[in-house]
Amino acid sequence: MAKLGTPKRPIIARVQTMERAEEIAYLCEQNGWIFTVGLEPDQPEDVSDLLKMLKDRRPAAPPGAPPCYSRNDYCPCGSEKKYKNCCWDRDHLEGAPAKPEHVE
């Protein structure tokens, strides 16, 4: 199945007012998502696709912040191990014993 927000599977929203349609269009355009908005004043609003995309989106890191790695990403040190099995303890646990540096 295609990823939501792409040409093969656009975000579909049904709204009651033009102002709400413009809000949704703005959010989708800012994030580069493909979308279709239907203006149906007599139907209940349905923006579930948009809410799913907003929920799944990771918040942007503040400028100058160090990069954030997930425990299951490969370690940035280049060891080709998962971060949780390599440098996670050193980076996240205060007082944890220091791990030896990687030898190449």
**Among candidates 33, 30, 25, 28, which has minimal Cα distance to 8?**
33
- Predicted confidence at residue 21, as pLDDT, reads 95
Instruction: Please give the model's pTM, rounded to 2 decimal places.
Output: 0.54
Same domain assignment for residues 45 and 19: yes
- Predicted confidence at residue 96, as pLDDT, reads 46
103 inside domain: no
Which residues of the chain fall below pLDDT 70? 57-62, 64-68, 92-104
Q: How far is CA 3 from CA 7, 89, 102, in A?
A: 9, 34, 38
- Helix, strand, or coil (residue 24): helix
| Residues of the domain holding 23 | 11-56
How many structural domains does the chain have? Answer: 2
**Among candidates 96, 72, 94, which has minimal Cα distance to 83?**
72
- Predicted confidence at residue 82, as pLDDT, reads 86
